[in-house]
Amino acid sequence: MDSRLPIVPDVAARLSVERTTHVFGREVAPYAGVNFVGASRLSFDEGLDRRMGSYVLARLGATMVIGPFGIGLDVDNLFDARADTFAFGNPFSVRSERQYTPLRPRAVTLSVSRRF
């Protein structure tokens, strides 16, 4: 029997890079990041135990400052990774059906903020 803590991966890592620069007289801050979540398991109970994790998520984007406004463009889950992040759903059917919580699919976000 595996005695490791459930839902805690053996390995997790994050790397991110950001640089603020000026383009056409505007402050621009592009960034990129990568997260790795190693394999983990769901439960101490052998009947509920499922493998989870072991995925890589990439994100990139940039923000631009125009006066008091900030405009951002972000892409999360850049490569549209698919994995189970937490596989415990309905407690009444967890032993009879496969349950999973998928990663958020690739998402593109355009945002506008204002500084006060």
For the chain, the domains span: 12-114
Q: Is 79's pLDDT higher than 90? A: yes
Q: Is 96's pLDDT higher than 80? A: no
pLDDT in tens, 14-30: 999 999 999 999 999 99
Average pLDDT over residues 76-95: 81
Average pLDDT over residues 74-92: 84
The pTM for the full model equals 0.77
Report whether 42 contacts 49 (CB < 8 A): yes
Percent of the chain predicted with pLDDT > 70: 92
Return the ∠ at Cα 75 (arms to 70 and 80), rounded to 5°: 170
